[in-house]
Structure 1
Amino acid sequence: MRVGPSTIYPTKWIYMKPGLPLEIIDEYGHWRQVRDDAGTTGWMHSALLSGLRTAVVGPWLKANAMLRGSPETTATLIAELQPGVLLSLRSCTGTWCSVSVQKHSASGYIRQNMLWGAYPGEMFR
Structure 2
Amino acid sequence: MAGPVRTTAAVVLAAVTAWPAWADTGRSTGRPVPRFVSLSADTANLRAGPGKRYPVEWVYKRARLPLKIVGEFGAWRRVRDWSGTQGWMHSALLSGRHTVQVLGDRDRVLRESPRADAAPVARLAPEVIGDLDRCRSGWCRASFAELTGWVPRRALYGAPVGD
Instruction: Name the TM-score, length of structure 1 as normaliser.
Output: 0.88
Contact preservation (8 Å) 1:94, 1:120: no
1:49-64 paired onto structure 2 within 5 Å: 49-58=94-103, 61-64=104-107
- Displacement, 1:57? 0.7
Q: Which one of the candidate residues 103, 108, 113 is aligned to 1:70?
A: 113
Q: Which has the larger radius of gyration?
A: 2
Q: How does 1:64-103 map to 2 (within 5 A)?
A: 64-101=107-144
The letter of the residue matching 1:106 is L
Deviation string for 1:72-96 (max 9, x for gaps)? 1121100111221111111111411
1:1-125 paired onto structure 2 within 5 Å: 1-58=46-103, 61-101=104-144, 104-121=145-162, 123=163
Letter matched to residue 138 of structure 2: T
The answer (yes or no) to whether the contact 1:25–1:35 under 8 Å persists in 2 is: yes
State the secondary structure of the residue aligned to 1:13.
strand
Q: Following TM superposition, where does structure 1 have runs of at least 4 consecutive aligned residues deviating by more than 6 angstroms?
A: none
Percent pairwise identity: 43
Determine helix, strand or coil for the equivalent of 1:27: strand
User: Secondary structure at the residue paired with 1:14?
Assistant: strand
The number of aligned residues is: 118
TM-score, with normalisation over the residues of structure 2?
0.68
CA RMSD of aligned residues (A): 1.3
| Cα separation, 2, equivalents of 1:77 and 1:116 | 21
Report the structure, 1 or 2, having the larger helix content. Answer: 2
Structure 1: gaps (5+ residues)? none
Distance 2:137 2:74 in 1: 31
Deviation at 1:120, TM superposition (A): 3.8
Greater relative contact order (Cα < 8 A, sep 6+): 1
